[in-house]
Chain A
Amino acid sequence: AQRVTQPEKLLSVFKGAPVELKCNYSYSGSPELFWYVQYSRQRLQLLLRHISRESIKGFTADLNKGETSFHLKKPFAQEEDSAMYYCALFSGSARQLTFGSGTQLTVLP
């Protein structure tokens, strides 16, 4: 069975500080991982996908198969980054996303 773990429910950092949101997964196949973000009173939005190795809004995430991790990082946090972040694993065979429990990021001024 697949599983996604986000160990931090809440994370606070100061503006300009680096931020890292942790995500670990358990999956027997080749993982396809995503980060989704939900800003206050907005819909869930796709932030980035590991297969595209892109940087969105300054965020990056690297898949580490050895550590089964897909941590989200940003070198300099901004107040507008405050949101709920979800790590998700896609199972091609089951055609479903398995979400972590989410991390509420607060960037303090």
Chain B
Amino acid sequence: KAGVTQTPRYLIKTRGQQVTLSCSPISGHRSVSWYQQTPGQGLQFLFEYFSETQRNKGNFPGRFSGRQFSNSRSEMNVSTLELGDSALYLCASGTGENYGYTFGSGTRLTVV
């Protein structure tokens, strides 16, 4: 069974640009969550999608958005990048029930 796949693994962007990150969940999983990991703030919840619907969003500005497709793949977008957006972005997939989430390896975003 393939795990959670996140692409790309690394990204370098310039301030003001926008970026799109992709996540393919485990086959059969309909829940996809996104987390931001930084040394200062740790792991913080961004949003969760289930069957193409955003069910919850964390305390992040509107520049952070996401979506989920009918095949459960998800994308997150960050517009007008700021230096503080540099982080490891993690995607987690689950069945939608609370049996724990499986995380991807993450996308390392560096904003210069």
Contact = CB atoms under 8 A, between A and B. Distances in A.
Nearest to A46: B100
Given A95-B48, A96-B48, A99-B42, A46 B101 contact: yes
A59 B50 CA distance: 32
B33 A96 contact: yes
A92 interface: yes
B45 A45 contact: no
B45 A98 contact: yes
Interface in A61-88: 86
Tell me whether chain A's interface is mostly helix, strand or loop, or mixed.
Answer: strand
Contact of A90 (B43, B50, B58, B98): B98
Question: Which bracket fits the contact residues of A?
Answer: 20 to 34
A36 B101 CA distance: 10
Given A45-B103, A90-B98, A96 B90 contact: no
Interface of B: 3, 31, 33, 35, 42-45, 48, 50, 55-56, 58, 90, 92, 98-106
